[in-house]
Amino acid sequence: MNFGFNPVSKPSHKRKKKTAKQRGAISNEVYNAAYERSGGVCERCGKGWYLECAHLIRRWKIETETTVNDVAMLCAPQGQTGTCHHWIDSTRTGKEWALAFRDKLYEESGENE
Ligand SMILES: [Zn+2]
């Protein structure tokens, strides 16, 4: 039997993880890469419309930071019914499309989540 003292390293109270807001932030680099990928049209319906860089996944689900595979250029504004950005944020089929599209992007880029 071992009665030796085995100190367990103290848990750090420092916040190592970025906040959901920081993880959800879309950098210029990501925005530009997404825009280039889209060819300047909505990545779902192909309209050359006013585009927004839309999250394909809930921000709080993003582990480290938003990559180009977590977003899509979609027709907007998000608050307007009938646009793709509104659709993926407000409907179940839209959310499913967003997740499937994200999976496809990760597959194509060869990066694992
Ligand atoms: Zn669209």
pLDDT in tens, 55-103: 999 888 888 899 999 999 999 999 999 999 999 999 999 999 999 999 9
Task: Note the pTM of the prediction, 2 decimals.
Answer: 0.80
User: How much distance in Å is there from the Cα of 26 to the middle of ligand 1?
Assistant: 20
DSSP per-residue string spanning 16-41:
-SPPHHHHH---HHHHHHHHHHHTTS
Cα distances from 73 to residues 61, 69, 85, in angstroms, run 19, 11, 9
* Residue bearing the bigger pLDDT, 79 or 3: 79
User: How much distance in Å is there from the Cα of 81 to the middle of ligand 1?
Assistant: 11
Over 60: is that where the pLDDT of 26 sits?
yes
Q: What mean pLDDT value characterizes the chain?
A: 89
User: How much distance in Å is there from the Cα of 111 to the middle of ligand 1?
Assistant: 26
User: How much distance in Å is there from the Cα of 51 to the middle of ligand 1?
Assistant: 8
User: How much distance in Å is there from the Cα of 43 to the middle of ligand 1?
Assistant: 7
Q: What's the pLDDT band for 113 if we cut at 50, 70, 90?
A: low
* Residue bearing the bigger pLDDT, 52 or 110: 52
Cα pseudo-dihedral 8, 11, 16, 19, rounded to 10: 140
User: How much distance in Å is there from the Cα of 30 to the middle of ligand 1?
Assistant: 19
User: How much distance in Å is there from the Cα of 80 to the middle of ligand 1?
Assistant: 12
